[in-house]
Amino acid sequence: MEIAAGLDWLQHTALAVQIRDSLFLFPLLESAHVIGLSLVVGTIAIVDLRLLGVASAHRPFQRLAADTLKWTWVAFALTALTGALMFITNAAVYFHNSYFRAKVVLLVLAGLNVLVFELTAGRTVAQWDRAPSPPPLARAVATLSLVIWVAVIVTGRMIGFTATRASLTEPTPVDTNFEDLLGLPAAGDAAPPPAKGPE
């Protein structure tokens, strides 16, 4: 019950109301979220591909990681902030959405995966810093990391198809006009699209 009250409070904050009522804010938050996450995943892939010996294999790992991961953190901050702002616009719905929950679990797994690396291969990095092919455990962590981040993208995209923005109780002008354009009968007669929201 306390969680339900907290979620309810969140989506009634002035900030949440303002984002919901704005025509531009939610799409812009989504855009900034995609910009942030593409930089997070893109920079992490650079480090993972080095660990796998696929790209930058002859560049010292520590230098590459230091040069790359600081930008990952900047991008992660942008992604987390925009994600939180989108969450509060419809907190109760997102909280109970299975894809949202799966995505949170995957993000925790990504963190644990880094922890495993730091406690194992990361401790012996001085020995393999220049090796084109790092130890098997480091390569396993890198593979798992790539898989987890692709899964984060998939679950994130699925949230958009399964959770509705609270403010969009009426069809948007675009929805209405597409039906007119296609000469389709009004929604309800045709096969319902799988997407409820503005995916």
Partner 1 sequence: MRDFALWLANTSPSVFIQEHNAWAIPAIQSVHIAGIALVMGSVLMIDLRILGWTWTDQTLSDTTRRFGPWLTGSLWLLLATGLLMVIGEPVRELVTFSFWLKMGLVALGALVAVTFQRTLRRHERHWEDTLVHRPPVKLLAIGTFLIWVCIIVLGRLIAYDHVWGSWSPAVGQ
Rounded (5°) CA angle 133-150-130: 15
**Contact with partner 1 (CB under 8 A): which of 84, 112, 154, 190?**
154
Helix then strand then coil, in percent of the chain rounded to 5, is 75, 0, 25
Range in contact with partner 1 (rule: CB under 8 A) among 2-10, 79-87, 112-120, 180-188: 180-188
CA–CA gap between residue 139 and residue 83 (Å, rounded): 30
Q: Burial of 22 by CB count in 10 Å (0-12 exposed, 13-18 middle, 19+ buried)?
A: middle
- Residue 135, classed as helix, strand or coil, is coil
CA–CA gap between residue 119 and residue 128 (Å, rounded): 15
The distance of closest approach from Cβ of residue 60 to partner 1 in the complex, given in angstroms and rounded to an integer, is 8
**Contact with partner 1 (CB under 8 A): which of 63, 96, 123, 130?**
63
Is 126 a binding residue for partner 1 by CB under 8 A? The answer is no
Is 68 a binding residue for partner 1 by CB under 8 A? The answer is yes
Binding site for partner 1 (CB under 8 A): 23-24, 27-28, 30-31, 34-35, 37-43, 45-46, 55-56, 59, 63, 67-68, 71, 149-150, 153-154, 157-158, 161, 172-174, 177-178, 180-182, 193-195, 198-199
